Amino acid sequence: MDPVSRVRDFLLDNVGHMTYPGNPSFDAKAQRWLVPICCRAEGGSLVVGDVELDRDGHIIFAPSREELNARLAAKCSAALP
């Protein structure tokens, strides 16, 4: 399965509609896909984490909803004057 589609489905099922997958990159040495997790925010989109998939599209690692919320809150508060 396409890594972007897999991450999109994962995010919709586990995090919510405010997140979406970014452009994937493939680490040839590790044989892993890395797909950024982007979040829609008032000031624009922010990258709040990455999902790691094996070469067949199976999710190896994804941050929890709580981790993503904490990262988003930290990034938004850091952006405020």
User: pLDDT tens digits, residue range 6-42?
Assistant: 999 999 988 888 889 999 999 999 999 999 999 887 7
Residue 80 has pLDDT above 60, yes or no: no
User: pLDDT tens digits, residue range 34-78?
Assistant: 999 998 877 788 899 999 999 999 999 999 988 988 887 787 666
- Say how far apart CA 42 and CA 55 lie, in whole Å: 34
Tokens for 18? 């405010």
Question: Domains of the chain: which residue ranges?
Answer: 3-79
Please give the pLDDT value at position 4.
94
